[in-house]
A and B are shown apart, each in its own frame.
Chain A
Amino acid sequence: GDSVTQMQGQVTLSEDDFLFINCTYSTTWYPTLFWYVQYPGEGPQLLLKVTTANNKGISRGFEATYDKRTTSFHLQKASVQESDSAVYYCVLGAGGRALIFGTGTTVSVSP
């Protein structure tokens, strides 16, 4: 079945460090790929969205590129801030089914 894999459970950085979160997906359908971010005490919210028509998404300094060959959708940011501390979910939409969330990556940024 369709699935999403995030291998990094936790990433610890200092301000101005480079952030990179791995995500791979599996589906036999044309995917729509999302990154959601969740802050403490809140529900997940959309960070960016990419379809097969526009293979790159950029939002709030974050960037993700959809690579069909490697079935990857990694998230990156050149210079993180303490306010970027949150849980980041790679999410797959495909086949007319509900969105499938990855296990999440907790990003902790120290000043």
Chain B
Amino acid sequence: DPKIIQKPKYLVAVTGSEKILICEQYLGHNAMYWYRQSAKKPLEFMFSYSYQKLMDNQTASSRFQPQSSKKNHLDLQITALKPDDSATYFCASSQVWASAETLYFGSGTRLTVL
């Protein structure tokens, strides 16, 4: 059974709309992350959370807002969608928040913005 669940697996949206990407982890980890992978760029770090608190934000746009309702949840809300937002978004987790920690990734949500 997958330990990090991302929903939906595929998502199609129109420009200007808003979507929420869901992530739940069942590894008992205390840190969670969002990464983005697009065709033109390598895997990019977006956000990191530790015990539901934002630790690092490397996303320039405020259109991307992480939401943590529980320790094992970290959803990603994206507003005013643009075609350039088209990418696969990966959620990840680690035991603790630290640069030496191994990240465990979900299988991703592939977002297409028309």
Chain A residues in contact with chain B, CB under 8 A?
29, 32, 34, 41-46, 49, 51, 89, 93-104
Which chain B residues have a beta carbon within 8 Å of chain A's beta carbons? 4, 33, 35, 42-45, 48, 56, 58, 90, 92, 98-108
The number of residue pairs between A and B whose CB atoms lie closer than 8 Å in the complex comes to 56
The interface residues of chain A lying within 8 Å CB-to-CB of B33 are 98
Query: B107 near A42 (CB under 8 angstroms)?
Result: yes
CB of B99 within 8 A of CB of A43, answer no
List, in ascending order, chain A residues with CB within 8 A of B56's CB.
Answer: 97-98
The residue in chain A whose Cβ has the minimal distance to the Cβ of B6 is A43
**5 more CB-based (< 8 A) A-B contacts, given A93-B100, A98-B58:** A32-B99, A43-B90, A44-B103, A93-B101, A97-B99
Chain B residues with CB under 8 Å of A42's CB are: 107-108
